[in-house]
Amino acid sequence: MPFDLKEIAAISGMPGLYRLVKPTRAGVIIEALDEKGTRSVASARNKVSLLQEISIYTQDYDQTVPLSEVFDRIYQQHGPELAVTNKSDDRDLSAFMAGIMPDYDRERVYMSDIKKLVQWYRVVSKALEYQAPAQEEEAPTAEPTEEKPKAKKKAAKKDEPAADEALSTAGIIPAAAETNAAGNPEAGEAKPAKKATRKKAE
């Protein structure tokens, strides 16, 4: 993983990105991912969205691209500095997104998501060191794909998400639901229990 996003999170109601330091009874101690690095406590009521668990929708409904991979694509094409910002013209932002991810879903990825992606990349590329994938284990080995299944289909929203929320693409596509072993070969036909009958003594 070029940028280590394991402990980096977006927190509802709080602007910017944060590094999770350690949990407390009241919530979790966080450190702002900026020059000041101010520490505070995020309440358990706040929604914490880990960046490594966020993916971007593609035109294939059941396919997404992890945010870590999207950040890697951005770095490969643009390096740590971007020509666009979250305040750039929508056409420039759309062109930027199409350049790094041509198959992104134009309907489910909102413009606010693209702006947030650009903003997050700028913060991450300044705060974290890019680790070139020198080893050939490019596939993330410790990625939690066995998380609790979340609802795969979200209700189609026409309103864009609020600015303090994570991307509308947050969440991992749940694994296919496990099927019950209906055709278990060991499940033989149940034999009805024989009723013991007693002869009355005459």
Hey, what CATH topology would domain 8-127 get? Arc Repressor Mutant, subunit A (1.10.10)
Please state the φ and ψ torsions of residue 144, each to the nearest 5 degrees.
-75, 90
Q: What is the pLDDT of residue 113?
A: 96
Answer yes or no: are the C-beta atoms of 100 and 73 closer than 8 Å.
yes
Residue 123: CB atoms within 10 Å: 15
Q: How many CB atoms lie within 10 A of CB 69?
A: 17
Strands (E), the chain: 8-11, 14-23, 27-32, 39-43, 48-50, 55-57, 64-66
Decide the pairing of beta strands 27-32 and 39-43. Answer: antiparallel
In the prediction, which pLDDT does 164 show?
A: 52
Count CB atoms within 10 A of the CB of residue 56. 24
The whole-number pLDDT of residue 131 equals 82
pLDDT along the chain (202 residues), means of 10: 87 92 90 91 90 96 94 94 94 97 96 96 92 59 49 43 52 40 45 49 46
Q: How far apart are CA 2 and CA 79, in angstroms?
A: 12
Q: What is the DSSP letter of 52?
A: G
Give the predicted TM-score (pTM) of the model.
Answer: 0.66
How much is the pLDDT for 7? Answer: 93
Q: Where are the domains of the chain?
A: 8-127
**Would you state the pLDDT for residue 31?**
95
